[in-house]
Amino acid sequence: MSGYHGAPATNASEAADWSTGRVIQTNLRAVLGRAYPRVIGLTREPSWLFFEIFLPFLAVSAFVFVYRALEAPEEFIGFVVLGGAMTSFWLNVVWMMAAQFYWEKDQGNLELYFTAPMHLMSVLAGMAIGGLVMTSSRALAVIGIGSVLYGVTYDIQQPFLLAGVFLLTMIPLYGMGMLFASLFLLWGREAFHLAQLLQEPIYFLGGVNFPLRAIGPIAGVVMATLPLGVGLDAMRQLAFAGSGVEGVLPVGPEILILIAMGVVFLVSARLALGYLEFLARREGRLTLRWQ
């Protein structure tokens, strides 16, 4: 590290003496570095388009037809379109966050990440931010196509609040992905199967395709565990303000819940990562179970 920051070091001990500023800068750069292939992938892996636009859109359409056939209130159509768009983020979290360390380990990236001078949380954050940028384009596509095709009308009185709630939802959602990334590696296939198993129930419990209130008492459980459910419930209240929709809770408390979830998931992700590294160094392997 001959003098990238200040005078060139004359020996290794000097070179290892980093200021706090340099540590922070390196971690920020690592976030960008890891987000980079994700964003590049946007233009290089068209097959992802299929999974992240077409599949959610199909699911949305199916519900739209059911609601139309049942002559459900027209807001339900808007709910479904919004829910469908948010599904893209959930898919992104399951397949490209939670399962990611798996691939990274096989390719030998994980070892290089551990030996690089940044925290692995920065790698996870980069993965999350890159994924978020990439998936946002998909989600917007689903909303655009769905809204035009099914004639959804929005009534947004507080656009900044809506955008803020969206971002606040993303923190615990991707925080959950960051946590799962370590857990999946620790528990191997079992965790992987569990996630696949959970995918459908989460659509249901997350209230992706219908208002969460409709499932009654279970809604309380959802509130306490699933960022996507809470976020969607708040976003629907804000996106269809005039239609008199009621959420499980008013937007204010839901925002507080999202903040609390964000803290819990990020802290847990950090702890899980520490345990992962400890286990890797002590046992010479990255998994609790043999695979």
Partner 1 sequence: MPDELAIHARGVTRVYKAKPDPVTALGGVDLDVEPGEYFGLLGPNGAGKTTLIKILTTLLLPTSGTAKVAGFDVVHETAKIRRVINMVAGGEQSGYGLLTVREQLWMFSQFYGLPTREGWRRVDELIEITGLTEQRQQKVRTLSTGQRQKLNFARGLLNDPWVLFLDEPTLGLDVAAARDLREHTLSWKAAAPGRTLLLTTHYMVEAEQLCDRIAIVDRGKILALGTPEELRRRVQAESIFRLELDRLPQNGGIAGIAALPGVVSAVRADEEMADGAASDRVALKVALADDSALTSVVTAVAERGSHLVGLAKSEPSLEDVFVELVGRGFGDEDGDQEPAA
Ligand X SMILES: Nc1ncnc2c1ncn2[C@@H]1O[C@H](COP(=O)(O)OP(=O)(O)OP(=O)(O)O)[C@@H](O)[C@H]1O
Interface ranges with ligand X (CB under 6 A): 284-285
Residues forming the site for partner 1 (CB under 8 A)? 1-2, 4, 10-13, 15-18, 22, 25-27, 29-30, 32-34, 36-37, 40-41, 44-45, 107-109, 111-118, 123, 280-284
- Residue 21 binds which entry of ligand X, partner 1, none, with Cβ cut-offs from 5 to 8 Å by kind? none
- Residue 154 binds which entry of ligand X, partner 1, none, with Cβ cut-offs from 5 to 8 Å by kind? none
The residue among 160 and 290 lying less far from ligand X, judged by its C-beta, is 290
The residue among 16 and 62 lying less far from partner 1, judged by its C-beta, is 16
Give min distance, CB of 186 to ligand X, in A: 16
DSSP string, 5-55: SSSPPSSHHHHT---HHHHHHHHHHHHHHHHHHHHHHHHH-THHHIIIIIH
CA distances from 84 to 87, 196, 209 (A): 5, 18, 7
The residue among 45 and 246 lying less far from partner 1, judged by its C-beta, is 45
Give min distance, CB of 73 to partner 1, in A: 45
b/e code 172-199 from CB counts within 10 Å (16+ = b):
bbbbbbbbbbbbbbbbbeebbeebeeee
Give min distance, CB of 83 to partner 1, in A: 31
AA identity, residue 215: I
Cα-flanking dihedrals φ and ψ of residue 240, to 5°?
A: -125, 55
Number of other residues whose CB lies within 10 A of the CB of residue 164: 15
What would the two tokens of residue 166 be? Answer: 């969206």
Residues in Cβ contact with 246 at an 8 Å cutoff, skipping those fewer than 6 apart: 213, 237
Give min distance, CB of 217 to partner 1, in A: 45
The residue among 115 and 217 lying less far from partner 1, judged by its C-beta, is 115
Q: In the bound complex, which residue of the shown chain has the CB atom lying closest to ligand X? A: 284
Give min distance, CB of 287 to ligand X, in A: 11
CA–CA dist 129, 57 (Å, integer): 23
- Residue 241 binds which entry of ligand X, partner 1, none, with Cβ cut-offs from 5 to 8 Å by kind? none
The residue among 12 and 69 lying less far from partner 1, judged by its C-beta, is 12
Give min distance, CB of 104 to ligand X, in A: 18
Q: Is 209:228 a contact under the CB 8 Å cutoff?
A: no
Calculate Rg over the CA atoms of the chain. Answer: 21
- Residue 188 binds which entry of partner 1, ligand X, none, with Cβ cut-offs from 5 to 8 Å by kind? none
